Amino acid sequence: MTAPGAADTERSTLAKAADENFPVAPFFLPRDWREDLVAVYGFARLVDDIGDGDLAPGGADARLLGVPAAEAGDRLVLLDAFEADLRRVFDGTPRHPLLRRLQPAVRRRSLTPEPFLALIAANRQDQLVTRYETYDDLLAYCELSANPVGRLVLAVTGTTTPERVRRSDAVCTALQIVEHLQDVAEDLGRDRVYLPATDMKRFHVQEADLAAPTAGASVRALVAFEARRAADLLDEGAPLVGSVHGRLRLLLAGFVAGGRAALHAIAAAHHDVLPGPPKPGKLRLLREVGTTLRGEG
């Protein structure tokens, strides 16, 4: 029997796929791929929601994970409980419906715990590390927070090779950086800054500048600099698209195009990300998909 609130929390988490910069499980994919990719997304979205304190009100997720009401606000406790439930995916029966949804995918695709554990580790890190001194430090964080998702996509579709993993990591890190650029103001509200401190010093940007209603020239220059880094990573990873065929090629083109379209939206806003996340339109996204499929840009 489904626990009270279980269906609602599952639906509300999966509904967030529509707001992502990249397609999660588009209709043109084989049904079994779609089911497994949605299951992977549900895991990744929920662990991020736990780490960000964005769980649905009412504490349904905490109850499903067996966390007492008195500890439901402790993100590290919730992440520990989530990890314990993840381990039941591989050896037992998980409690949370999103992890029960994940279990068939894990078995069907012979997925290992490591990428899932990395995503949990990234969210633990978010509770303890709120600033990054260097770009290399940020890349190490992305190795936990973003790259496992691309590796899971390759595993689900049975297309993993060392070279594809390398290209995928570049795309996923780029997408993570783009998201950080879109969410500078929101992240600051959570007392997190994902702009490397050394870069902020180089462009003479103080944290107080990030709290302004609109960005000054120094902040815009910094955002443009980080956006160029993300664009270079997308270009490095783009050959991944041409290394596969059929509908998977279109899916991976959507990932790269989503990042490029978001970067175009940031540039169109003159790199002023502080009023809110610049979002690309559908027409721009379609153009970028076409460009990526042709191997241009």
Query: For the segment 208-242, what is each residue's pLDDT rounded down to a tens digit?
Result: 999 999 999 999 999 999 999 999 999 999 999 99
The pLDDT of residue 187 is above 70: yes
CA distance 288 to 246: 18
pLDDT at 17: 61
Averaged confidence pLDDT in the chain: 94
CA distance 191 to 104: 37
Task: End-to-end CA distance of the chain: give it in Å, rounded.
Answer: 52
Task: Compute the Cα dihedral for 225, 228, 230, 233 and give only its sign.
Answer: negative
pLDDT at 9: 74
This prediction's pTM: 0.92
Mean pLDDT of 203-211: 98
Q: What is the pLDDT of residues 29-72, one digit of tens each?
A: 999 999 999 999 999 999 999 999 999 888 999 999 999 999 99
- Proportion of the chain above pLDDT 70, given as a percent: 96
pLDDT at 2: 46
pLDDT at 18: 67
Report residue 110 as tokens: 């012979």
Mean pLDDT of 248-274: 97
4 confidence band (pLDDT: 50, 70, 90): very low
The pLDDT of residue 5 is above 70: no
Q: What is the pLDDT of residues 139-185, one digit of tens each?
A: 999 999 999 999 999 999 999 999 999 999 999 999 999 999 999 99
pLDDT at 126: 97
List all residues 6 or more positions away from 81 whose beta carbon is below 8 Å from its beta carbon.
Answer: 62, 65, 66, 67
Phi, psi of 193 (to 5 degrees): -130, 120
Nearest C-alpha neighbor of 174 from the set 228, 125, 216, 211:
228
CA distance 65 to 72: 10
pLDDT at 42: 94
CA distance 31 to 15: 18
The pLDDT of residue 285 is above 70: yes
CA distance 121 to 132: 16
Query: How far out from the chain centre does Cα 133 lie?
Result: 21
- Proportion of the chain above pLDDT 90, given as a percent: 88
